[in-house]
Copies of this chain bind each other. A is one copy, B any other.
Amino acid sequence: MKAEIITIGDELLIGQIINTNQAYIAEKLNTVGIDCDRMTTVGDSPTVITDSFTAAFNRVDVICVTGGLGPTHDDITKKMVCEFFNTELVMHEETLEHIKALAQRRNIAMIQSNTDQALVPKSCTVIPNFVGTAPGMMFEQNEKYFFVMPGVPFEMKEMLDNWVIPFLLKKNDGSVVLHRTLKTTGIGESMLAKEIGDVEPIIGTDGTVTLAFLPNQMGTKLRITVKDTSSDSAKMKLQHAELLLRAKAERYIYSDDEKDLEDVIGELLKERKMTLAVAESCTGGLIANRITNVPGSSEYFLGGYIVYHNNMKMQSLGVPEKLILDHGAVSKVVAESMAHGARMTSQSSVALSATGIAGPTGGTPEKPVGLVWIGYSDAESTFALKFNFGDYRMRFKDRASQAALELLRRKLLKMM
């Protein structure tokens, strides 16, 4: 079965709200083997809404519509659905009772617009809304299924998870869809594609397996998708593709379950009962911030030194003034001294450091904007590596923080 998702609302078309419903619905449909072919977002305009219904109904078997079911004048979805299915609104007593009970519990007086919410198209199957007032609707016609749900994400999710998806699971044609995402970093998309080489041996030629490269400033995700008729065969194909990919790119893969690098290094540190401190100049606290986004990070993260000013490098971390004068604050020896100083001062097992030129100004021909030294220190060694992360400040910080965490991951796994 193929699906389309139609989201309705002026607030989406002016970019006031980011459309999270689409992605949520698509992901859930996917889990029951239904591919979403297209997503359409339209405003509270009768002709465009009807047009989108017609087009989707002609193309696919499952249509999921959200939005425009509220009690205000610009919520016209119910009216448009009635016209589309050539039916009329009737009072749905169960829904009315539910709304009355809800109003009473919340201590709100019932007004006309509340009562109107219990009006539903005569020919639909009502999908109960246990967490709000607007009921959902399902129309079945020529083995096509047309669902209408509220736009409030919380209400939509409840209805989708507990009514729509179980309903579709029973109707589904038996195809199985599996995904695996391998997150890589420390290598560009093009180089990664080159290392992996010809994808045909990995994904085969029968079209059941696909591989996508999804790059962002943190690295490139490799997404394997298998669509098959049996669960066993799908699992085998997924495993096969993953093994072959790993054989080519294992070194760069830090997660196969959507975890971020800060989660991964957190687990590695916990397993090893090690503690971490950071000394940041150019990244300005981003490394520490990412590490502390992980619940429970206080178990292994002792703290950080944001040594923006050179005095702080000297005073907090004991970086010798002579090193800064002779080599500059952005230098291999200062990065090393920062990492070493952070480890000694905090008494941590390992420490990371970053010193560089985030830009947009402050570069020289010898030390251009984008240059960064990432330092590492443990009881056995202290060293620093040189990178260039470009001249856009925010991305520079993201990439430098990612490189620091990746360096730690590789050291903890004895990959370097």
Q: Do A106 and B71 contact each other (CB < 8 Å), given the known contacts A14-B26, A14-B30, A15-B23? A: no
Within 8 A of B (CB), among A230-283: 278, 280, 283
Partner of A308, one of B210, B211, B280, B302: B302
Q: Which of A175-213 contact B (CB under 8 A)?
A: 179, 181, 188-191, 193-194, 199, 210-213
Q: Is the CB of B193 within 8 A of A113?
A: yes
Closest to A110 in B: B190
Q: Which residues of B lie under 8 Å from residue A216 when comparing CB positions? A: 152
Given contact pairs A70-B213, A193-B71, A285-B286, A38 touches B48 in the complex (Cβ within 8 A): yes
- List residues of chain B with CB within 8 A of the CB of A111: 190-191, 194
Instruction: Say whether A105 contacts B388, CB under 8 Å.
Output: yes
Contacts of A215 in B (CB 8 A): 70, 152
Chain B residues contacting A109 (CB-CB under 8 Å) are 191
A82-90, A118-126, A290-298, A372-380: which one contacts chain B?
A290-298
Does B305 contact A213, Cβ atoms closer than 8 Å? no
B361/A295 in contact, CB under 8 A? yes
Look across to chain B and name the residue whose beta carbon is closest to the beta carbon of A5.
Answer: B41
Query: CB within 8 Å of B: which residues of A?
Result: 10-20, 22-28, 30, 35-45, 48, 52, 70-74, 105-109, 111, 113-114, 131, 152, 154, 179, 181, 188-191, 193-194, 199, 210-217, 223, 225, 278, 280, 283-289, 291-293, 295-298, 301-309, 311-312, 315-316, 345-347, 358-361, 368, 370, 388, 390, 392-395, 397
> Hey, which chain B residues are within 8 Å of A41, CB to CB?
22, 38-40
Q: Within the complex, which residue of B19, B26, B106 is in contact with A390, where a contact is CB–CB below 8 Å?
A: B106
Whether A285 and B309, one on each chain, are in contact in the complex, defined by CB atoms closer than 8 angstroms, is no
Pick the residue among B28, B188, B212, B347 that contacts A11 (CB under 8 A).
B212
Min C-beta distance of A64 to chain B, whole Å: 12
Check A311–B302 contact: CB distance below 8 A: yes
Q: Is the CB of B302 within 8 A of A285?
A: no
| B12 & A39 in contact (Cβ 8 Å cutoff) | yes
Complex Cα spacing A312 to B316, Å: 11
Name the contact of A212 in the complex, choosing from B10, B23, B108, B113 (C-beta under 8 A).
B10
Q: Are B13 and A18 in contact (CB under 8 A)?
A: no
| Chain B: minimal CB distance from A366 (Å) | 14
Asked whether B292 lies within 8 Å of A289 as measured between CB atoms, the reply is no
Q: Which residues of B contact A39 (CB under 8 A)?
A: 12-13, 19, 39-42
- Inter-chain pairs besides A74-B210, A295-B359, A303-B305, 10 sampled, C-beta below 8 Å: A14-B26, A15-B28, A22-B41, A37-B42, A44-B212, A280-B285, A284-B288, A285-B288, A305-B316, A312-B346
Shortest 8 CB-CB contacts between residues of A and residues of B:
A284-B292, A15-B27, A285-B288, A15-B26, A304-B306, A285-B285, A285-B289, A39-B41
> Which residue of chain B lies nearest to A37 when distances are taken between CB atoms in the complex?
B48
B residues within 8 A CB of A301?
284, 308-309
In the assembled complex, the Cα of A74 lies from the Cα of B27 at a distance in Å of 20
Contact indicator B291/A284 (Cβ below 8 Å): yes
Contacts of A214 in B (CB 8 A): 11, 16-17
Residue numbers in B under 8 Å from A316 (CB-CB): 303, 305, 316, 345
Q: Which residues of B contact A304 (CB under 8 A)?
A: 285, 304-306, 308
Contact B308 A285, beta carbon cutoff 8 Å:
no
Chain B residues lying within 8 Å of A27, measured Cβ to Cβ, are 14-16
